[in-house]
Structures are given as structure tokens and as C-alpha cells.
Structure 1
Amino acid sequence: MRFLLLLPVLLSLPSMALAHASEQGFVLLLPTDLYVAGGAASVALTVLLIALVPPSWAAALFRPVGLARVRPLPGRARIGLAVTAALMGMVALGLTGPHDPTENLLPLGIWSLFWIFLVSLTLIAGGLWRVADPWRGVWALAHGLGWRRLVRLPRALGSWLPLASFLAFAAVLLAHPAPADPDRLALMVLSYWGLHMAGTLVFGPTWLRRAEGLGTLLRLYGQIALLARRGRALRLGLPGWQALQMPRPALAQATFMLTALGVGSFDGLNETFWWFGRIGINPLEFPGRSAVVWQSFAGMVVAVALLIGAYTLCIWLGLRLVRMPLDLRAGYCLLAPAILPIALAYHIAHYLPSSLVEAQNVWEALGHLTGLWHWHVTTGFFNTRATVQVIWLTQAGVVVLGHVIAILMSHLIALRLTGNHARAAVSQLPLAVFMVLYTLFGLWLLASPRGI
């Protein structure tokens, strides 16, 4: 009885609660049906305009403009070594530092600085990975000391290794019981870095281009960056202007692009009340990620397979509609780069709420590590209608813009294939319908109540 009498007092005492943005619960109480309908309508209107507007207008949108003449970044090998040293320092902090993921720089560095911020910033400058690559600096140092590759990477391996590498990363992101646990994450990061460093020392830098998944992802996203250097000229254009100038991607590369979208979509789907209903979990009493490991992994695989299947069907239907003398594999590969704006747009939109908190966590952790400042992390912007509405409209706008750019890109690619505006528009009808429906799906994901 004494304990029961004291219980209200004990519950009222302040205490520390450990949390991380990767585990979030957010119910958006806004009239989202209007926003979703408006976003899908804008994409559908884009499809209609493409059928009516002269092709030269669409091509002009992707024509880059020159900004300035720039010189190559000096000391890239030293910068690469500094990045590697910083990564190893974060691994050491993961093993010896605070266990709280919001205070330890390793989970903040991997899941916030890299996965949220660096991937998103690729939209602005696609060459960021060439600076942030943690392997090339070590290779440059070893090469300068006389090390040479031991063997040539066999072509029989093809170009599917990056896809396997990325799927391993995605499995940790979506299905690992504790991806932000500093101790476990330190071992996983060290293993991933060590595997690809060994591959680089044995096969040379070719290994990083043909086997490492995260670098492949950022290079592909770099094809739709606003800024890029051409020779010594810095150019600016609509996202996708570089991809339209690239040669046809290989089958493995095209499949990688679709896989990136599938993984990103499931990254949002597996947090929704709808998904928890499918796997028999009460989202308001979530038992933890360890209870849904195989469901999450299987869901990721099925989501990627369904997306690839739906995309392939749309390409096949489009080719049949206009009776183009082009095989399915060629159409599949040629149109795959148009998926990249959708994938990156959804990544940015999905992580926007988390980024507002994680940026503060990183800043606070740096201040705590150096002892130079203290930052009070706030989430007050999630508590008012006005700020939540701004966040949602920004997310929805990014998703819709990504789909609009994707439709424009796919139409220009189809125009080059057919040489006829009417045939290009007809061939893109199935893919356009797919993109409109995917817009609805993406906006629904952003607006759906989340259980973790």
C-alpha cells in the first residue's frame, strides 16, 4: 500500500529516456487526402502536358548552363585518408563511447551524416562520394609506396556484386534487430570497410567500381545531381540532365536503380500501421525489431521483386503498344535512369522529419565530445499544426517534383528511341500510369500513421 501511494510521486519524477530517430512514432493529423489527390493530379497533368507540348520544350528543360571554370580539388588522397581516419575514430567511439545512439558519433555518423545527409546532398553535387570515399585514400597511399594490384578482377563476376553489397546494407538498415547499437554497428562497419579494402588491395580500384554497393548508389544518384563538372566548367541543370547524356546502363546497373527505389519504399512501408496489421503486430505495443527480423527481410525482398516486376510489365506493354523493334531488355535498361529521381526524392522526403532531429543530435554530440558547447535537442516543431503542415508540404512537394522529372526523362528517352512524338507518348502510357500510382503510394506512405 505504501508503494502504491508513492507510485504517482515516483512517476512524476524526471528521468532520462533513450531514443533514436530510427525508431519513431508519428501520426499526421492533417487532411492529407486533399494533398495526396493534389499531388497525384499534378503528376497526371504533367503526363498530359508532355503529350501536347512540343518535344523541344522538354529537351530545353534539361539543357545545363555553365556557371564558372573550376580546378580539380587538390589533395584528394589526403582528404580520403582523413575520411578514413575519421571513420576509424568513430568505430573506436562505437566500441568505447556512450551506448546511447543519440550521443555516440558512430551511429550518428553512419545513419545520420552518411545515410540521411550525404545521400540527400548528392542531389546538389554528385561528386561528393569521390571526396568522402574511405578506401581510395588508403589505396593511393599504398600505391605510392609501391603496392600494385595482385590480380585483375574477373569479368565473369559481371557487375552484380554492387547489388549484393547494397542489399546487405539494406538488410541491416531494415531488418537488423539493433542497427544503431554502437558495439554491433562498430563491428559491422569495420567488417564492411575491411572486406572492400581487401578487395581493393587485391583487384585495384576497379573493385570499388564493380563490387562496392554504397559507392555505386551514390554514383548513380550523382547522375541526377544539379551540379557537375564537365572538363573545367561547372554546369548547372535540372536533375537528370547528366543521366540523359549517359550511355545505356547495363542490366545489373538498371536493376540496381530499381532496387534502390524498392528498398526506399519499404523503408517507409515497414513503419506503417498497415504493415503491422499484415504481420499481426499491434503497432501501439511494438515488441521491438528483434520480433520482426524475418518479416522485415522478407518484406524488403518482396517489395523489390514486385517493383521490378511491375516496371518490367509497363515497359513490355509500352513496347507492344507502338510495336517497336526493341527487345524488352534494351527498353528495361534504357528507361531505368528515369527511376532515379523518384528514388532520391522519396529518400529525401522520408527522412526529412528525422533529419530535423538528427542534425541537432550530431551537433550536440560533437559539443559533448569536444566540451565546447551544449545544445538542447528539441522536437517542438512536431507539436504544432503550422510547422507539421510545412514539413508535410515540403515532403509532398519533393515527392511530386521527383515524379514529374522522372516522367519528363522517360518521355525524352522514349522520343530518342521512336523518333516520333506521338509514338513516344503512347509508348510511355503504361509507365506514366505506373508513376502516377506510385506518386499516390509515396504520398500515402508519408501521411500514414507509424508504429515505430
Structure 2
Amino acid sequence: MQFLAWFLAFVFVVDTVAAANGLTLSKGPRDTLAIPRWLYLTTGGATIGASALLASFVTDRTFVRNLHSWSRALPTIKQWWRPIMWLGRGLGVGMLILAIYLGFTGPELPTASFTILLAFAGLRAGLPIATYLIGNVWPILNPWRTIATVLPAGFREYPHWLHRWPAVAGLLVLVWVEVIFPVSTVPTVLAMGIVLYSTITIAGAVLFGPPSWFDNADPLSVLFRLYGVVAPIQRHNGALRITLPGSELQNSDVVSDTSDVAFIIALIWELTYSGFITTSAGATTIETLVGIVSFGIVAIETRAIVVYTILFFCGYTVFLGAYWYAGRVSRRSTGTYVTAQTIAFQFAPPLLAIAAGYHLAHYAGLFVSLSPALTMALTAPLSPPANPLVLSVPSWFEGLSIAAVLIGHLLAIWVAHAAAYDVFSSRLVAIRSQYPFVVVMVGYTVISLWILSLPGATPPYLP
């Protein structure tokens, strides 16, 4: 049966199947898109602008409200919920233990390493895709939360003034570590990182209590919670309901603090940054800046780390600043009594649709190519194959990446349109309030499509 599944994948999805002897995973080079750059950049930006214009003609508040409130109850699983919960918890803890153990004792080949495949093909690529396309199961699978629930916890009250800022810092640090250190190619380095992350996470959950820590400070929990808002399957009052994708993004509870906005922008920026440094333009930029930045006797690798770090945090600051500036422009252009912060909070959740589109564009190919190796690692973690299969995705996946980016932006445009009608009583003001954010979204679109158009390259100077 397994052979038949891979055979069908080979025939319908894959161009070639190759035995891999090394892979940099998220840093892998890409092929150049066979589409004129000016054409699809202009088309992509115009598509977002035109969709915003068309959405402005939908002024029936009742229609918009009914569309976003539509839902259907799914078959109840109440009698199965506890067994499913305990099965998921056990599976999550078991995967964590195996990942640490096999990271130190398993094979060094990345595509044969259970630890690397689980972390990058599973947790980095596959599970987020399943989260925003189907629903969020991370609260059940989260091994650190399972461990923390059986330990004495809650010795200190979580400082509410911190809100989600620890999660923002944690996400940025995780992405920085992924870029700078060879966690995607050396299993022992990744295993040490998992041990460190586990120590910090469990200690924080024990100190402040699992609910407070995982709702506010744990970057992975916040990431999956926010991606889960995009999904069509939602859990309300213990019951599962199917909704239109993105309907929950209009919920005012999604973003309640500046740190939530910062986290959402971080999701968009980290995918943009990771995509850029794996292109020829990104590699050239890094090499040029490393040549300019000279610290005398400092090794070139150290200078490169400084350049990568400065680009990462400066770019994030620009993305975040552009969004907040759009909120201020929106308030000035409408002359409303609503504060710029309130406007920014209301228009931030739609950006999660953009983040989901970016993630799908960057990681769908990785997940498909590593799916055979991941399946083999999960089914036989203690006896990995000496020559694991890695699929080479077909050229039409490039078109899928473009479609994912555009669909994410189109969904964001529509949800932002609906959110504007929740904030403003005047239809004209509601429409005008969206213009600055549409400009920002068009900018995000053009940047992302431009990155997808560039030939791939391996980031220079990194191990």
C-alpha cells in the first residue's frame, strides 16, 4: 500500500525522485521562474488593488455580516475527545523524546535524520500548512504543555504588562537561529537547540503556569493559535464547526495588544527574509555588505553573522513601522475619532491570511519533496533508510507559489473590508480607511512575488 502511494505521487506530482546526500532544507536553492518579471509583478500588484476596488462596491452590511457568520456544525466527537486528547499528548511527548535522542545518536545525513525531518518537514512546514488549511491541533500535540501540566506550577503570576512580547522575541530568535546556525543540516546542533528550548519552555510554564505561559510567552503556541484563526474548522464551546476560511479573522479578540500586531508582522517578515537570503540577489547583497563592513581582524564569518542580523532586525523594523504608519495615515485621511491604534488592531488579523499564503508558497514544495523521507522516519525512527527518497517537485509548483501569495492577499483584502465596516458607521469612511493598508499589502505582494521570481542561491558564509 505504501509503495502504491509513492508510485502515484511519482506519476502525478513528481518530475524526478533522487537519493539525497545532503540538503539544506529551508536554505535550499530554487529554480528561476519562467515568467517575465515585470509582467507578473505588475499583474500581482494590480490584482490586489483591483480586488480592493471591487470589494469597496460591496456595501451591504447585512450581507457581509451573514457571510462571515456562516457556519455548520460538524459531527460531535465528545465521546472520543478524551481518548484523542491523550493519544495526541502521548504522541507529542514521544516525538520530542525521540527527536532529542536520535538527534545525538542518529544518522548525520539531514534527509535521514528523524530530528531534522520532524522539525523542518513536520513542525516548520507540514503542521502549519495543516493548521491554516484545516484547523489547529497544536494544543493537543504540544509536548511541553503536556509535561508542564503534570508538574507543580504557577509559583508566580505572569506579568500582564508583557502581553505577547516574549513570544515576539522568541519567534525572532528562533528564526535568527535557523538562519545563523546549522540546525537544518546538523542533527546534533538541532538536538541541543531542542534541549535548550525545552528547558526554557518547561521552566517558564512551571513558574507562571501552563495557561499563562503558552497563551502569551511561547512562540510556537502563539504561532499555531494565530494560524489556526485562518482555518475553516473552529472549536466553539467544545463543538467543532466549519466556517468560511478567514471568517474568524474579523473577530476582535484575535488582536488585543500591540504585541499581537508585532507578532503577526514578524510572521510575514521572517518568511520574506528567509526567501530573500536564498536568492541570488540576497546572496549578492550579503557578500557586498560583508565586503563593506570591515572590523580589522574579525573573521569574515563573524562579519557575515553581523550583516545577517542587522538585515533581519532592520527589515523587521521597516515592515512593522510601515504598518503602524498606515494606521496613522488611515486615521488622518478619514478624520475619525477612532484612534490609530484601534484601527491598526482591527486591520492586523487579515494579515494572517497573507502570512499563511507566504508560508504555503515557501514551504509546500519542501514538504512535498521531503514527505517520503518524513514518512519513513516516522514509521521506522530507530532504523532509518541508508538512502532516503527525496522528491523533486515539478515546475508548476512555481505557479502554485504565486497563486498562494495572491490568494492570501485577496482573502486579506476582503477580511479587511469587512473589518472596516465593524469599526466605522459611515460607509464612505469605512472604504477610505482601507486605502493605506491596501498600499502596504500591495507593497508586501510585490516584494514577495519579486523574491519568488529570483533565481535561487545558497546563503553565503553560513555553515
1:171 to 170, 176, 179: 176
Contact 2:369–2:392, Cα closer than 8 Å, also in 1: no
Give, in angstroms, the shift of residue 231 of structure 1: 2.5
* Correspondence for 1:431: 437
After superposing the two structures, state which structure 1 stretch, 168-177 or 110-119, moved more: 168-177
2:142 to 125, 133, 142: 133
* Correspondence for 2:411: 405
Residues 1:275 and 2:295 aligned together: no
Flag structure 1 segments of 5+ consecutive residues without an equivalent. 1-14, 283-287, 382-386
Q: TM-score, normalised by structure 2?
A: 0.85
Residues 1:231 and 2:237 aligned together: yes
Counterparts of 1:249-260 in structure 2, within 5 Å, are: 249-260=256-267
* Correspondence for 1:349: 361
Give 1:261's aligned amino acid.
Answer: I
Residues 1:41 and 2:46 aligned together: yes
2:190 to 185, 188, 191: 185
CA distance in 2, matches of 1:192, 1:372: 25
Counterparts of 1:30-179 in structure 2, within 5 Å, are: 30-33=34-37, 34-56=39-61, 57-72=63-78, 73-75=81-83, 76-77=85-86, 79-142=88-151, 147-179=152-184
Pick closer, same or farther for the CA change 1:99–1:155 going to 2, 3 Å.
Answer: same
Give 2:34's aligned amino acid.
Answer: L
CA distance in 2, matches of 1:39, 1:392: 14
Matched residue SS, 1:234: strand
Pick closer, same or farther for the CA change 1:321–1:125 going to 2, 3 Å.
Answer: same
CA distance in 2, matches of 1:50, 1:308: 25
Give, in angstroms, the shift of residue 58 of structure 1: 4.0
Pick closer, same or farther for the CA change 1:168–1:373 going to 2, 3 Å.
Answer: closer
The number of aligned residues is 425
Matched residue SS, 1:223: helix
Contact 1:79–1:137, Cα closer than 8 Å, also in 2: no
* Correspondence for 1:10: none
* Correspondence for 2:292: none
Matched residue SS, 1:393: helix
Q: CA RMSD in A?
A: 2.7
Give 2:404's aligned amino acid.
Answer: V
CA distance in 2, matches of 1:19, 1:124: 27
CA distance in 2, matches of 1:117, 1:289: 32
Contact 1:176–1:293, Cα closer than 8 Å, also in 2: no
Matched residue SS, 2:26: coil
Give 1:30's aligned amino acid.
Answer: A
Give 2:82's aligned amino acid.
Answer: P
Bigger RCO (CA 8 Å, 6+ sep) = 2
* Correspondence for 2:333: 321
Contact 1:123–1:222, Cα closer than 8 Å, also in 2: yes
CA distance in 2, matches of 1:25, 1:115: 17
Matched residue SS, 1:337: coil
* Correspondence for 1:338: 350
Give 1:346's aligned amino acid.
Answer: Y
Give, in angstroms, the shift of residue 94 of structure 1: 0.3
Give, in angstroms, the shift of residue 213 of structure 1: 0.9
CA deviations on 1:397-436 (whole Å, 9 max, x unpaired) are 1111110111111122222211122211111111112212
Counterparts of 1:374-413 in structure 2, within 5 Å, are: 377-381=389-393, 387-388=394-395, 390-413=396-419
Matched residue SS, 1:149: coil
Matched residue SS, 1:19: coil
After superposing the two structures, state which structure 1 stretch, 350-359 or 176-185, moved more: 176-185
Give 2:445's aligned amino acid.
Answer: T
Pick closer, same or farther for the CA change 1:431–1:16 going to 2, 3 Å.
Answer: closer
Matched residue SS, 1:42: helix
Give, in angstroms, the shift of residue 32 of structure 1: 4.1
CA distance in 1, matches of 2:176, 2:213: 22
Residues 1:221 and 2:227 aligned together: yes
Give, in angstroms, the shift of residue 188 of structure 1: 0.7
CA distance in 2, matches of 1:408, 1:139: 40
Give 1:330's aligned amino acid.
Answer: T
CA deviations on 1:335-390 (whole Å, 9 max, x unpaired) are 21111110111011111221221212212434664659898625444xxxxx31x2
1:25 to 17, 29, 41: 29
Pick closer, same or farther for the CA change 1:219–1:368 going to 2, 3 Å.
Answer: closer
Give, in angstroms, the shift of residue 189 of structure 1: 0.4
CA deviations on 1:288-312 (whole Å, 9 max, x unpaired) are 9877322222211111111011111
Identity %: 23
Give, in angstroms, the shift of residue 92 of structure 1: 0.5
Larger Rg: 1
Q: TM-score, normalised by structure 1?
A: 0.87
CA distance in 1, matches of 2:259, 2:208: 20
